[in-house]
Structure 1
Amino acid sequence: MPAKSSTIVTALTAAAVVVVGVLGYQAAASAPDTLTQARKDSHRSAPKDHSDRRGTKDKAPAPAPVPAASGKGQRVVYSLGDKRVWLVGPKGKALRTFTVAPSAVSPPLGTYAVSSRSVSVTGSDGIAIEHVVRFANVDSVTIGFSAAVDGSRPDPDSSKKTGGIRESRDDGKALWDFALHGTKVVVIA
């Protein structure tokens, strides 16, 4: 092979390596960083300190504390009266808390365990839901947490016996990741 042809082949090979490297870098930069997102998700309920240019502080309200009479250890706490859920870590600290839209049929106060889960199904109200975490059954109505795919929350309708406790899609994903089969669920007043 003449020297000129060898130089051209070497130059083309080098150019191809550069192009592949650039494409790989772009793909890595646009891929979702699930570890960073998980860290962001776990800190969403943390209070934030907002300072203006003059240095004064406007603090956001602190997250609702874990109810004292909700047991010990890792658990999901669901307060019927507050319409709120806490994801509580093994040391008793709230990892996340959020409000929910309660179901038409409420579970009795007590301690339950996650009995089944579904990534996506149609709810008893006909709405497409995801991250379904079931834990109780009352009068043949299955009770569980879920998020509507369209982001809607149900209107209370006593004529329908539904057991879906609805949360936002972000909160539903967090609960799904936290509440594996057998996880304790404590229902309080």
Structure 2
Amino acid sequence: MSRRKVPAGAWITGLLVGALAIVFVLSLQARKGIPDGGLAGGAAPKPSAKASHSEAPKPPQYKVPAGSGTGRRVVYSLGQKRVWLVGADGKSQRTFAVWPGTVTPAKGAFPVTFRRETGVGSDGVQIENAVYFGTSNAFSNAVDGSSPSPNPSLRTGAVRERAEDGKAMWDFATKGTTVQVVG
């Protein structure tokens, strides 16, 4: 019986095809894991026929949800995991992604009832810029800047923000400001 040798080029080609297949699968998995602060709806931007290589891609635009009330308010979208700080003119002054806790607030309009500059969240994390609304929910940011997934065994009503967004919320959402929670 004679042994046939497989040419080195065939081995290299096989390894290259395998590596490309792995990269392709990992890229698909990564695309599914784009955070809510990423692309709207998780869809990739579609290239424009008019776009040139010198044009920078435009960041996604997040419009204030329809049916979210009128006037000066905070709008919190449960589905988009996003907040808008809306001025008296009805225009968004700022929008940002958030990380919700395990206690989902009811939909509706709630006044800011209490504010706490610093403290410890129900998950034991040092927080600042806590703005409370409804019966058991608050916007806050972790002092250490973390945005961990909430422990599912804890009842946490915290909606976490990045530090700069927490400061903006603190400055905007004074006691009595309406927080409109939408789907």
The correspondence for 1:91, drawn from 89, 92, 101, is: 89
Matches within 5 A, 1:92-111: 92-111=90-109
Could you tell me which amino acid in structure 2 is paired with residue 61 of structure 1? P
> Who wins on radius of gyration, i.e. which is larger?
1
The CA deviation at 1:159 is 1.1
On the 8 A contact 1:129/1:146 being kept in 2, the answer is yes
Given residue 142 of structure 2, which amino acid in structure 1 is its aligned partner?
Answer: A
Q: Which runs of 4+ in 1 moved over 3 A?
A: none
Asked if 1:75 is matched to 2:73, the reply is yes
TM-score, L = length of structure 1: 0.67
Q: Note the alpha carbon deviations across 1:51-99, whole angstroms, 9 max, x for none.
A: xxx9932132243000111010000000011000000000110000000
2:154 to 160, 169, 172: 160
Is there any run of 5+ residues in structure 2 with no aligned partner, and where? 1-51
C-alpha distance in 2 between matches for 1:151 and 1:91: 32
Counterpart code for 2:146: S
**Alignment partners' CA distance in 1, 2:175 and 2:72:** 13
CA distance in 1, matches of 2:149, 2:86: 28
Q: What percentage of aligned pairs have identical amino acids?
A: 51
2:177 paired residue number: 183
Count residues with an aligned counterpart: 132
* Structure 2 length-normalised TM: 0.69
Greater fraction of residues in helix:
1
Q: Distance in 1 between matches of 2:148 and 2:57?
A: 32
